[in-house]
Amino acid sequence: MRAPRIGSILNDLMRCSVYAWTECMPQQAADNTQALGWGSAKNPPYVVDENQNCLAWDRAKWTDLEFVAHSLSDTPGDTGDINRRSVLWGYLQHLDTKARIWFGVAHLETGDPPARVAQAAKLVSDTPDGPSCLGIDRNSFDDSDPAMTISAELESLRRDPVWFNPGNERSFHGWTTPVKDGKCVDGIHTRGVAVVGGGLISTVGLKATDHSGIRVTITVAAG
């Protein structure tokens, strides 16, 4: 049973009040948030776009104000969309402090480096104004990949960089052994918030940089 194990990881290792998941089906979002004890079937604590990007939040701590979804492809509905290349933004307000922040989740192209760069540029141009925190599957592998210019494209998206990229970390894709040294495939980018701490949570028994969890602690100015 995979769902209980994922629920245990979320509860025991991640311990976040907002999650950004890629390649997440609605039933998986329902299973995950049920394991976390969040929301209800009548008032689900998550939203999933048509490309399987998902935001989930603890309704005891946050309320949702607005959602925006964008295709990152040149032509909406093309193979870029079919392959889940889009961004989903949710504007949430913290119930205690009234602080407001845009949380986002995005997924870029895997087999076409130039397409990833173009998608990253569109991601930046379509980013909402204000404090932001983006969880992204960049699908970039090493410095020889032109798509690593994504890091430069996204520079304007954040003032406080969070790159979980220890020097001895190894790139990882799919469910095989890590094969090459390189930058992390996944990342978190923030803008207008204070980054307190965070780290990589491996869920597959490897020091993986893909298909693992990244946890970050942030503070946002009260609204």
Alpha carbons 166 and 187: distance in angstroms, whole number: 13
Tell me: the pLDDT tens digits for 144-191?
454 444 444 444 333 333 333 333 333 444 434 444 434 456 777 777
Of 157, 150, 153, 108, give the one whose Cα is nearest residue 132.
Answer: 157
- Cα-Cα end-to-end distance for the chain: 42
Tell me: the pLDDT tens digits for 34-71?
999 998 878 899 999 988 999 999 999 999 999 999 88
Residue 54's DSSP bridge partners are 21, 48
Alpha carbons 13 and 43: distance in angstroms, whole number: 26
Which of 123 and 99 is assigned the larger pLDDT? 99
Tell me: the pLDDT tens digits for 81-96?
556 688 999 999 999 9
pTM of the predicted protein model? 0.81
CATH number of 60-219, picked from 3.60.10.10, 3.40.50.1980, 3.60.20.10, 3.30.70.20: 3.60.10.10
